[in-house]
Each structure stands twice: as C-alpha cells, then as structure tokens.
A and B are shown apart, each in its own frame.
Chain A
Amino acid sequence: MVYLLVLFVYPIFSTLLLSLKDADGSFTLHWYADALTGVNRSVLFTTLRISAETAALSLVFGFVLAQAISRLKPLWAGLAMLVVVVPHFVSALVRTYGWIIMLGDKGLVNETLAWAPGAPYQLLYNELGVVIGTTSMMLPYTVLLLYGVMRGVDRRLLAAASSMGAGKVTIFRRIYLPLVAPGLASAGLLSFILSLGYYITPALMGGPNQTMIATLINQQVTKENQWNGAAAQGVILLVLTLAGLLLVKAVTSLGASRKKRSAT
C-alpha cells in the first residue's frame, strides 16, 4: 500500500504542485490560463467532442450487441463473449495498426466498397478514422457492462406488464428502458472518461485536427520540455475524469434504488 502511495499518489500530487508553480517557484495560475485559451482550448474541445462521439457510438453498438448476446443460447453467447473479450487483451497499439491496414486506400474496407461511387473513401487521418478506432477500443467495456445489466433485469416484470395488456413498445419504453437506463448511463460515461485520456489511436489514426489532450501532454513533455503546462493539462484531465466518476457513482446508486422499488 505504501508502494502505491509513493509511486501513485505522490507523483500525482507533485504534478498538481508543478502545475501551480511559476519558473521562479512562486504560486501562479497562468499555466491553467494557458491550458484554457487559444490552441489548447480547441484541443480540449476536440478531446471532449471525440470522446462524446466515441461514447455515443460504443453505447449504441454495445446495446445492440449485448441485447443480441443476451438472447443467444449459452454456447453461442459464450463464443460471442470470447470475441468481445479477447481483443480487449490484445495491445491497443496492435489493434490500432490493424485498423490502419484495414482502412487504408487499398485496405479491406475500401476494396470491399470498390463498386460504390466515390471510392476509395478517406477513412484514415481524419475524425472518422479516430472515432472508428476509439469506438472499437471502448466497445468491450460497454458490451460487458450492458450484458451484466440486461441479465439482471427481472423477466417477470416484463411478463406481468404483458399479461396486463401492455404492447411491445409500451413494455420496452415504460418497463425495460427505465430498468436498463442507469446501466446505459454508466456505460456511456465510462467510455467517455476512458476516451478522454486516450492517446495511441488518435495520434496514429487522426490528422492535425484530431489532436487530443493526451497527445498535447506528451508533446509538451518529450519535445518542448514544458513540464508545467503539461502538468496543468494533466490536472484538468484528472478533474474531468473524477467528475465523470462521481456521476457514474450517482447513476449507479440511483439505479440500485430504482431496481429495489420496482421489485417490491
């Protein structure tokens, strides 16, 4: 435990201190002012935008896939879960490289779509490429989370509503959706948070307009020796993440109380 205090808490603490220190060691907020203006501000917005797009897409895909898997027979469901889980343990770098091969001008996707008008499509080094990449990285998380939530839904509630004459759409909207909504919210938030600090995929699959905050931190440290600025951006990233985590926690406790209420 002391280990984590020394090598995890202390470094983050010193990052915080560094972000507040001026060149002569006095207290300053100007690194934060720098981080929130000009180019840095637009990078921050790009980060939020790409993370939101990623979260939305991985939520939709995750919902459909988890839905389909939860209706499969155990053997098939197990195989499908294997396809979801195994990529998660393959290095993100390697999977990103796989996407670069697939999305190139002569890649699998463009070769398959060669008949379509306007082909080959530009699928790399733009925002589309980045979002495809990050979505595939976040998808295992949302599928696993939503699958767990869907398995936890009490089928008797749906049957009860149906026996009282509710139609499919009504059941879905009034019973099923409210029960899985907290799970959807936390899955979406989680993939948003995880995308915020992402670096590999945006750096390799994006263009200059897709620079994300993590890329900037890396550049400032390794190329410009601008540690204070990097520290300030790190702290901003950390605060955003913690805010997201608090939201996840709030949503989870809301979900737990809702489930209890519906079961009584």
Chain B
Amino acid sequence: MMELRKSLAGRIALTAVATVILLFLALPIVVILVTSFSNNAFASFPPEAWTLNWYKALFADGSKWPAALSLSALVAALSTVFSLIIGVTAATALVRSELPLRSAVFALVLGPLVIPQIVTALGLFLLFEPAAMLGSPIAIALGHTVLASPIAVLILIATLRGIDERLEDAAASMGAGRLTIARKITFPLAAPGMIAAAIFSFITSFDEFYISQFLSSVDTVTLPVQVYNSLTFEIDPSVTAVSAILIAFAILALGLVALVRWIGSGRQQSLLSVENTVGVANPGGEAV
C-alpha cells in the first residue's frame, strides 16, 4: 500500500479517520475514569465539579460492593489454580509427547473460546442445578475454569515451545536427572509464562459475567453481576467508581504481563549467552 497512496491529502485523511476510530475504542474507558471523579455520576459529561464520594460510598455501611469484590476475588483465585493445573498438564502433554488424537485434544481446548458463552453457561447451569450447587463459589470457579483454562493452555504451549531444548539437553549431558532439569532449567524458564497464564486466568474469571449470572444465587453475587444489576435494576452511582477500579485493574494486569515477559526473555538470553561466548552457538538457532 505504501506505493499506492502517497499523496499528502490521502495520508492526512487516513490519519484523521484512524484517529477517530482509535478514539472510538478509547473514549468509553476515558469517560468512565473521568466520570468516577465527577459530582454528577449520571450520564453528564464533562463534569461540573470533582469529588471522591463514589469511591467512599463503595465501603460505606450496607454497601454490597465489598462482598461482591471478595467473592469475585475468591472465585478468581480458585479458578486460577484450577486453570494452571490444567494448563501445565495439557500444555506439557501437547508439546512434549506424541499424543494420540492430538488435533482432537487441541480442538477441545479451543472449543470454549469460540462457542457462545451463553451456551456454555446454560450447559453449566443444567449441570450444577440438579447438584444443588447454584451459588456455590466452587461451582462458579469450576465454570470459569472452562473459559480460563484454554487461555492458560495456549500461553503455556507458546512458552514451552519457546524454551530452547538444547538447554535441557546440555543439562542432561552433564548428568542432571529429570527432576533436577525440571526444577533448575525448565521451571525457571517457564515461570514467566506461568505467571502470565495465571494473570490472564485470574482476569478472565474476575470479569466473567454469563456463567456467574447463571450460577449465582441471591447471596452469592460476583462483581460483574453486581455491576450489571446496578445498571439495570437499582441505580447506584458507585458503579462508576467500581468500573474505574476494574479498568485500573485490567491495565495493571496487562502491565504486569508485559513486565514478566520482558524479564523472562532476559533470563533465557543470559543462559544462552554463555554458550555464545564459548563460540559454539549456531547463528540461526537463537531462541526468542
């Protein structure tokens, strides 16, 4: 395309339209952050005066938000643990061993990501309702794991593929046992990927709405369901403050993932650089 539209007017027009589209993506988020400090929390922009009242109201007596927040945190923590267990075992099996029906297993892993969440939620409801498990944090966490574990599996597959197997071979050639290799080589190299998988599992569960909505009861309402309820039934201005906190949380999580990735790539480089100084590395074989 570079050759096609070099005219200045064309470039300016394209840049302008692209900027508008970027604003289209970013503005809803910016507006929430700004409105959460506004004295008029309802659909009025720009704000006339500033206040912290909505944040204070979150923790006032009788507020439903602390309970919803702690339930969501509990559910997300549980489902992170479940997802990591599934993720590590499934990714190891898919990458390191010759699995029969490999593509079927892979399709099973990807399934929950493409199937409408409402269908998954409905199925889980039909599973847990007869078991009288509706409203149980464990049931909600198990449900969220269906959505979070595929993401963990995908991240961990990429991580394991990125580890230079020559490092493990080298350790083995020097007499290290399988456990030692796993503990001293594979685990430290896979740790950043595992942390990233944990963060994404946590945030997937923390933000999940459909499954929570179907599996929650009156007493167990997760944060997203409470947000939805405040937007539909009861008008609660604190919802802007909650939304702003959720945005900050998502950005923080993404920042953490980026940081962990950066540290991780440094770690593998430093292990490989020893090899490079000895002069035995092949130029094409650099790990990513």
Specify the chain A residue showing the minimal Cβ separation from B208.
A91
User: Shortest beta-carbon distance, A32 to chain B, in Å?
Assistant: 15
Q: Quick check: is B179 within 8 A (CB to CB) of the other chain?
A: no
Interface of A is mostly: helix
Q: Which of chain B's residues have a CB closer than 8 A to the CB of A71?
A: 1-2, 14
Question: Which residues from chain B contact A263 at a C-beta distance below 8 Å?
Answer: none
Of A23-31, A92-100, A254-262, the segment with at least 4 beta carbons within 8 Å of chain B is A92-100
Contact with B along A172-187 (1 / 0, CB 8 A): 1000100000000000
Check if B25 sits within 8 Å of A139, measured CB to CB. Answer: yes
Query: Within 8 Å of chain A (Cβ to Cβ): is B253?
Result: yes
Q: Are B1 and A196 in contact (CB under 8 A)?
A: no
A128 at the interface (CB under 8 A from B): no
Q: Pick the contact of B118: A90, A171, A234 (CB < 8 A).
A: A234
B45 touches A101 (CB 8 A): yes
A12 within 8 A of B: yes
CA distance A10 to B108 in the complex (A): 12
Interface string of A11-47 (1 = CB under 8 A from B): 1101100100000000000000000000000000000
Task: Judge whether A253 is part of the interface by a CB distance below 8 angstroms.
Answer: no
Residue total for A at the interface (Cβ-Cβ under 8 A): 79
Q: Which residues of A contact B4 (CB under 8 A)?
A: 158, 168, 171-172, 176
**Residue B190, interface by CB 8 Å:** no
The reply on A56 being an interface residue by CB < 8 A is no
In Å, the complex CA distance between A90 and B15 comes to 25
**Residues of B47-87 contacting chain A, CB below 8 A:** 82, 86
A164 at interface, CB cutoff 8 A: no
Chief secondary structure at chain B's binding surface: helix
Q: B129-164, CB under 8 A of A: which get 1 and which 0?
A: 000000000000011011001000000000000000
> In the complex, are the beta carbons of A98 and B118 less than 8 A apart?
no
State A216–B56 Cα separation when bound (angstroms).
37
A90 and B1 contacting across the interface, CB-CB below 8 Å? no
Give the residues from 25 to 42 in chain B that come closer than 8 angstroms, CB to CB, to chain A: 25-32, 35, 42
Q: Is A67 an interface residue, CB under 8 A from the partner? A: yes
Residues in chain B near residue A199, CB distance under 8 A: 118, 210
Is there an interface contact between A214 and B125, defined as CB atoms closer than 8 Å? no
Contact B254 A86 (CB under 8 A): yes
| Chain B, residue nearest A94 (CB) | B243
For B5, what are the chain A residues with a Cβ–Cβ distance below 8 Å? 168
- Among the stretches B16-24, B168-176, B260-268, the one at the interface with A is B16-24
Tell me the bound Cα distance from A199 to B116 in angstroms. 10
In the complex, the answer to whether B108 meets A64 with C-beta atoms within 8 Å is no
Asked whether, in the complex, the Cβ of A7 is within 8 Å of the Cβ of B124, the reply is yes
A231 at the interface (CB under 8 A from B): yes
Which 10 residue pairs spanning A and B have beta carbons closest together? A197-B116, A11-B123, A98-B28, A104-B43, A68-B18, A91-B207, A108-B45, A214-B118, A94-B243, A98-B32
Give me 12 A-to-B residue pairs in the complex whose CB atoms sit less than 8 angstroms apart, sorted by A's number. A18-B126, A65-B18, A68-B17, A83-B25, A90-B250, A102-B27, A108-B45, A111-B46, A136-B28, A193-B114, A231-B126, A234-B122
Given contacts A7-B124, A214-B118, 7 further A-B contacts (CB under 8 A): A4-B108, A11-B124, A93-B228, A94-B227, A95-B28, A104-B44, A218-B213
Which A positions have Cβ atoms within 8 angstroms of B? Answer: 1, 3-5, 7-12, 14-15, 18, 61, 64-65, 67-71, 80, 83-87, 89-102, 104-108, 111, 136, 139-140, 150, 155, 158-159, 162, 168, 171-172, 176, 193, 196-197, 199-200, 203-204, 214, 217-218, 221-222, 227, 230-231, 234, 237-238, 241, 245
Residues of B within 8 A of A (CB): 1-5, 14-15, 17-18, 21-22, 24-32, 35, 42-46, 82, 86, 90, 93, 105, 108-109, 111-112, 114-120, 122-127, 142-143, 145-146, 149, 203, 207, 209-210, 213-214, 224, 227-228, 231-232, 239-240, 243, 246-247, 250-251, 253-254
